[in-house]
């Protein structure tokens, strides 16, 4: 099945409706008593009943409207996913990006919907809490159709170099591990770390942030917001694992046509991103360098020295009682 413009518009409108429904669920749960579980032993990666309820709603809507499409959701168990190749159309969901903010009563979160067609971004719809008559807005787009906040067209912030008093999205501890070439030093903008990748991409698309950098987002974190930036006259620079050169994001899986990946493989997708206007994002990407960090260096050395299961460290020879000369004089 081909993804023509009419079909893209139909999928976009459906995604907008679903994003509004997701927003209504989240708004109803916000600052209320909800159940919490944690995905990690340090209790740093929470998942709530709001996440699960929203994803369940989105999956039901997609299955009803587009039964031949596949779904990849953050809160779906990877064990339940097939090893079969993904269909051409894939919906990628992050029902609640910014869960920690949400739990703490901070209205800086998003519900992100993205649709891939044969590995290329096709549609995005991102719900955001917003000071409007409805208490929220939906940022939405389809490839080649522009980007809109509800009904208003939006665009990235246009500048050739970073502006000192304009916001930029940076990961936590980013400036401890990364440096910029001399021509950008001291002129990076006002850094912000919001705790939601989808939210920061949305802020970049509407021009509130002049650019944003993401160290290792998953597919569900970035897809809905990334296509929004692209359709808001911006670009998203990336380099996949093993690549040295930065390039504009086009296909998230370049060899999809020859070998469509499974959902299990797509769940492992990760890449560094720089989002912004078509001049600034490449400038930032090409001027970033890793900063020498002695602690990180020691950790890398220790990992190299640590014996693996295939090459265990030699064990000291234990002397048996018989091999010890115990003869008394």
- Is 195 a domain residue? yes
Res. 306 pLDDT band, cuts 50 70 90: low
Which pTM was predicted? 0.86
- pLDDT of amino acid 79: 57
pLDDT by residue (tens digit) across 27-60? 999 988 888 887 666 666 788 899 999 999 999 9
Proportion of the chain above pLDDT 70, given as a percent: 85
- Which one-letter DSSP state was computed for residue 183? G
Determine phi and psi for 117, rounding to 5 degrees: -120, 110
Residue 100 has pLDDT above 80, yes or no: yes
Q: Are 61 and 15 in contact (CB under 8 A)?
A: no
What is the Cα–Cα distance from 178 to 173, expressed in whole angstroms?
9
Is 77 a residue whose pLDDT tops 70?
A: no
Task: Please tell me the predicted confidence (pLDDT) of residue 55.
Answer: 94
Please tell me whether residue 49 adopts helix, strand or coil conformation: helix
Distance CA 75, CA 195 (A): 18
Tell me whether residue 303 is in a domain: no
Which is more confidently placed, 307 or 208? Answer: 208
Domain membership of residue 206 (yes or no) is yes
Query: Would 329 be classed as within a structural domain?
Result: no
Give residue-wise pLDDT tens across range 290-302: 887 666 566 666 7
In tens, the pLDDT along 2-12 reads 678 999 999 99
- Classify residue 272: in a domain, yes or no: yes
Residue 231 C-alpha from the chain's centroid: 18
Split into its structural domains, the chain has a count of 1
The per-residue pLDDT for 184 is 83
- pLDDT for 236 equals 98
Residue 315 has pLDDT above 70, yes or no: no
pLDDT of residue 226: 98
For residue range 147-190, list pLDDT tens digits in order: 999 999 999 999 999 999 999 999 988 888 888 888 887 789 99
- Could you give the 3-state DSSP secondary structure of residue 158? coil
**Looking at residue 102, which CATH number applies to its domain?**
3.30.540.10
Is residue 18 in a domain?
Answer: yes
Checking if the pLDDT of 256 tops 90, the result is: yes
Alpha carbon distance 235, 201 (integer Å) = 11
What is the mean predicted confidence (pLDDT) over 202-215? 97
- Assess if residue 247 is contained within a domain: yes
Query: For residue 279, what are the domain limits?
Result: 5-290
Question: Mean of the pLDDT values across residues 238-262?
Answer: 93
Model confidence at 326: pLDDT above 50: no
Per the domain annotation, does 306 fall within a domain?
A: no
């Amino acid at each position: 099945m081909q993804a023509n413009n009419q079909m893209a518009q139909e999928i976009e409108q459906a995604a907008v409706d679903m994003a509004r429904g997701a927003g209504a669920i989240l708004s109803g749960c916000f600052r209320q008593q909800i159940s919490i579980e944690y995905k990690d032993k340090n209790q740093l990666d929470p998942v709530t009943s709001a996440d699960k309820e929203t994803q369940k709603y989105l999956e039901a809507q997609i299955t009803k409207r587009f039964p031949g499409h596949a779904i990849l959701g953050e809160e779906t168990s990877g064990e339940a996913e097939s090893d079969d190749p993904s269909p051409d159309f894939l919906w990628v969901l992050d029902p609640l990006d910014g869960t920690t903010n949400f739990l703490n009563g901070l209205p800086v979160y998003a519900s992100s919907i993205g649709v891939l067609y044969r590995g290329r971004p096709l549609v995005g719809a991102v719900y955001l809490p917003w000071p409007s008559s409805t208490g929220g807005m939906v940022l939405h787009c389809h490839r080649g159709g522009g980007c809109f906040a509800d009904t208003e067209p939006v665009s990235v912030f246009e500048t050739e170099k970073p502006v000192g008093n304009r916001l930029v999205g940076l990961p936590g501890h980013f400036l401890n591990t990364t440096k910029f070439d001399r021509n950008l030093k001291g002129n990076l903008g006002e850094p912000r770390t919001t705790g939601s990748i989808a939210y920061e991409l949305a802020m970049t698309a509407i021009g509130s942030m002049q650019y944003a950098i993401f160290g290792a987002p998953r597919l569900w974190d970035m897809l809905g917001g990334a296509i929004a930036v692209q359709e808001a006259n911006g670009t998203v620079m990336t380099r996949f694992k093993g690549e040295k050169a930065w390039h504009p994001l086009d296909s998230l899986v370049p060899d999809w046509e020859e070998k469509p990946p499974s959902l299990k493989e797509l769940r492992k997708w990760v890449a560094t991103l720089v989002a912004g206007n078509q001049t600034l994002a490449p400038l930032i990407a090409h001027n970033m360098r890793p900063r020498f960090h002695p602690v990180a260096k020691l950790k890398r050395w220790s990992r190299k020295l640590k014996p693996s299961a295939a090459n265990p460290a030699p064990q000291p020879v234990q002397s048996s009682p018989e091999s010890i000369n115990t003869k008394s004089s």
